[in-house]
Amino acid sequence: EEDVNEECAREVWNYLRAVMYNRRNKMNPLWNDLVVAGFSQPAGVGDASADEDKPFLGLVDKIGTTYEDSVIATGFGSYLAIPILREKHREDLEEGEARALLEDCMRVLFYRDCRALNRIQIAKVTKADGVLISEPYEIETSWDSASFVEPKGQLEGDGGW
Alpha-carbon torsion 13, 130, 122, 105, what sign?
A: negative
Residues 48 and 22 reside in one and the same domain? yes
Contact of 129 with 38, CB cutoff 8 Å: no
Residues 76 and 65 reside in one and the same domain? no
Identify the pLDDT of residue 65.
Answer: 97
Identify the pLDDT of residue 43.
Answer: 53
31 is a domain residue = yes
Identify the pLDDT of residue 29.
Answer: 96
Collapsing DSSP to helix, strand or coil, 102 comes out as: helix
What CATH number does the domain containing 88 carry?
3.60.20.10
Beta strand segments in the chain, E: 34-39, 55-60, 66-68, 119-120, 123-126, 130-133, 137-138
Residues 59 and 77 reside in one and the same domain? no
Identify the pLDDT of residue 144.
Answer: 83
Please choose, from the candidates 113, 119, 125, the residue with its C-alpha nearest in 3D space to the C-alpha of residue 57.
125
157 is a domain residue = no
Identify the pLDDT of residue 40.
Answer: 81
Which residues of the chain carry a pLDDT beneath 70?
Answer: 1-5, 41-52, 151-161
Q: How far apart are CA 87 and CA 13, in angstroms?
A: 26
130: which residues sit within 8 A by CB, 6+ positions away?
A: none
